[in-house]
Amino acid sequence: MKSSAERGFTLMEVLVALVLLVLFTLLSYRSLDAVLKTQRRATAEMERWHELAAAFAWMETDLSNAVVRPDPLLPVGGGFHIQLAQDGAMQFDLVRLLPDDADQAVQRVGYRCADKHLDRLVWPDADNPLLAAKPATLLEGLGNCAFRYLDEHGQWLPGWLPQAGKPFPLAVELSLTTADGTPLRRVMRVQ
């Protein structure tokens, strides 16, 4: 007769051990899968907020460097123009100073809300706004996007007409709704 130390495992003990190992592996896999899904959602959310911050930073930089420049097409002078397209797209453009190390001193840039996205427009020649602008999409998948302009009386206006002595609004408001329905409002000072 064999002692208990020399005796092997019974089939029942091996099956119980295998069942426990499978259950432990399954629970570990589900836990790891939940952690990885949470990480992917958090990464996507961080990327979305990073894109929003970058778009707001572009606008703030452009608006804070806006300059008045003579425009032969406008009797009041150049600087800030808005457009409302037939398709409902809102757009504004302005001439901005570039950093000292840039090739040109100024640049015409603009922003357009249309087709559920926000574009930054750059014209190849600041002196010729009739040339086609090159769009770069800053934000996509927006539910809504609109601009308003603050006048010297503290009123938010849906449009802006440059006047002598007041070529720029005091601020520009960007209101948008993200794809998940989150409403955002950002007010940026001009100059």
pLDDT digits (tens, 9 = 90+) for 4-44: 556 788 999 999 999 999 999 999 999 999 999 999 999 99
Structural domain includes residue 51: no
Structural domain includes residue 33: no
Structural domain includes residue 177: yes
pLDDT digits (tens, 9 = 90+) for 60-69: 999 999 988 7
From CA 121, how far away is CA 89, in angstroms rounded? 13
Structural domain includes residue 98: yes
Looking at residue 19, its pLDDT comes to 93
Structural domain includes residue 159: yes
Overall domain count for the chain = 1
Q: What is the domain extent for residue 178?
A: 59-189
- Phi and psi dihedrals of 17, rounded to 5? -65, -40
Structural domain includes residue 16: no
Q: State which H helix or E strand residue 189 sits in.
A: strand 183-189
Q: State which H helix or E strand residue 177 sits in.
A: strand 171-177
Structural domain includes residue 30: no
Structural domain includes residue 3: no
- The residue behind tokens 């100024």 is 106
